[in-house]
């Protein structure tokens, strides 16, 4: 088992990474204060792992909250249902909410925890690769607005993140590929050696080799933890973690949430960011080709659907949270391993990319 620490002063917390750690009672219970626990999961994941988790927790008063699957559930109505159940069951301020599931479950549960009685305990147990390497770490919580992804939310750190790679065995191939989009992102934005390692180990990762997965997850979490510890509230450097996401979130919104997985939209968004970087004379063509080749090997889309409305795509990009003083800021690449937040591109260049991608 690997243990990392996300350093945020008195809000610091551990990230545990290993195989079979969901069954380790000592790890779970040291991060729970009161006797009331609400396990929030979805219909699929609850069937696989809720019983194992309940056995590990032992003698607590446990409330199970099972949500329907899918990105379409990531809204304020779902959060309200969680509030209703917590109130009906008289959950006090020393309660703990445990998110058992992917990024949707983690984001919803974290937002509910941040606002129920102005904040209760919260533990992340991510069960998808995408959630393990990205959304479970760093304290971003929230829900979607019909016009923009993650527009409503709060920064709220968990007490711990528990990453059990055994949960990846029940994912389908599409979900593994989607998670690898976020892994590739970490190599692109700040870690060229990690990107090269991914090029050499992509077959093992797709085959779910446990050693390769633990290494990829650990390095991704290290890279994210470093950035979050320096800029928790995304006033500057943390926005680098949105590489590919301004494009990706717009794709999700225009296609309809859930038609493409978040990681699929991000994978395509990474290619779009790389192509724009090359188009304006930054990223060289050799590195652009390497990026496209790795994303293709991962099984992620590298082209937009022909039917997507390019005008609407651009409109949704201007709902992005990185808009500052009316200007769209994008995360682009100087080279593999060096990203920056910039407005140093022309609107014509963006229009040309969207039209011809």
Mean pLDDT along residues 313-329: 85
Q: 3-state DSSP call for residue 325?
A: coil
Mean of per-residue pLDDT scores for the chain: 96
Active site residue 90: no
Active site residue 316: no
pLDDT in tens, 92-137: 999 999 999 999 999 999 999 999 999 999 999 999 999 999 999 9
Q: How many CA atoms lie within 13 A of 230 on its CB side?
A: 12
From the candidates 31, 71, 150, 182, which is the catalytic residue? 182
Rg (CA), the chain: 20
What pLDDT score does 183 carry?
98
Active site residue 314: no
Nearest to 209 by CA among 175, 169, 179: 169
What pLDDT score does 53 carry?
96
**Which residue bears the tokens 């990024």?**
103
d(CA 63, CA 253): 33
Which domains are assigned to the chain? 2-170 (3.40.50.1970), 173-356 (1.20.1090.10)
* Extended strands (E) in 19-95: 36-42, 61-67
Active site residue 145: no
User: How much of the chain, in percent, has pLDDT values that exceed 90?
Assistant: 93
Do 176 and 208 touch, CB atoms closer than 8 A? yes
**Which residue bears the tokens 């009685």?**
117
From the candidates 71, 175, 232, 234, which is the catalytic residue? 234
Active site residue 26: no
From the candidates 159, 262, 316, 329, which is the catalytic residue? 262
Phi-psi sector, 281: left (phi>0), alpha (psi -120 to 50), beta: left
pLDDT in tens, 236-293: 999 999 999 999 999 999 999 889 999 999 999 999 999 999 999 999 999 999 999 9
What pLDDT score does 147 carry?
83
Res. 311: pLDDT tops 80:
yes
């Amino acid at each position: 088992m690997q243990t990392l620490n996300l350093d945020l002063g008195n809000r610091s917390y551990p990230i545990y990474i290993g195989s079979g750690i969901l069954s380790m009672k000592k790890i779970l219970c040291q991060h729970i204060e009161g006797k009331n626990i609400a396990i929030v999961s979805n219909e699929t994941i609850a069937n696989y792992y809720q019983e194992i988790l309940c056995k590990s927790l032992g003698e607590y008063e446990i409330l199970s909250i099972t949500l329907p699957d899918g990105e379409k559930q990531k809204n304020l109505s779902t959060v309200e249902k969680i509030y209703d159940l917590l109130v009906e069951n008289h959950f006090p301020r020393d309660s703990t909410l445990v998110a058992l599931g992917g990024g949707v479950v983690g984001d919803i549960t974290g937002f509910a925890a941040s606002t129920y009685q102005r904040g209760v305990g919260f533990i992340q147990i991510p069960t998808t690769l995408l959630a393990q390497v990205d959304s479970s770490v760093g304290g971003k919580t929230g829900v979607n607005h019909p016009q923009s992804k993650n527009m409503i939310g709060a920064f709220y750190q968990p007490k711990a993140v528990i990453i059990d790679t055994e949960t990846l065995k029940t994912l389908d191939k599409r979900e593994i590929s989607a998670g690898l989009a976020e892994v590739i992102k970490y190599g692109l934005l700040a870690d060229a050696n990690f990107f090269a390692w991914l090029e050499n180990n992509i077959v093992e990762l797709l085959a779910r080799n446990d050693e390769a997965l633990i290494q990829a997850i650990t390095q991704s979490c290290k890279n994210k933890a470093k950035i979050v510890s320096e800029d928790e509230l995304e006033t500057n450097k943390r926005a680098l973690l949105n590489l590919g996401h301004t494009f990706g979130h717009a794709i999700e919104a225009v296609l309809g949430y859930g038609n493409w997985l978040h990681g699929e939209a991000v994978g395509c968004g990474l290619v779009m960011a790389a192509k724009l970087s090359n188009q304006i004379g930054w990223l060289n063509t050799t590195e652009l080709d390497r990026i496209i080749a790795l994303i293709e090997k991962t099984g992620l889309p590298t082209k937009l659907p022909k039917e997507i409305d390019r005008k609407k795509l651009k409109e949704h990009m201007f709902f992005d949270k990185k808009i500052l003083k009316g200007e769209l800021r994008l995360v682009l690449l100087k080279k593999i391993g060096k990203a920056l937040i910039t407005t140093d591109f022309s609107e014509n260049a963006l229009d040309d990319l969207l039209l011809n991608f």
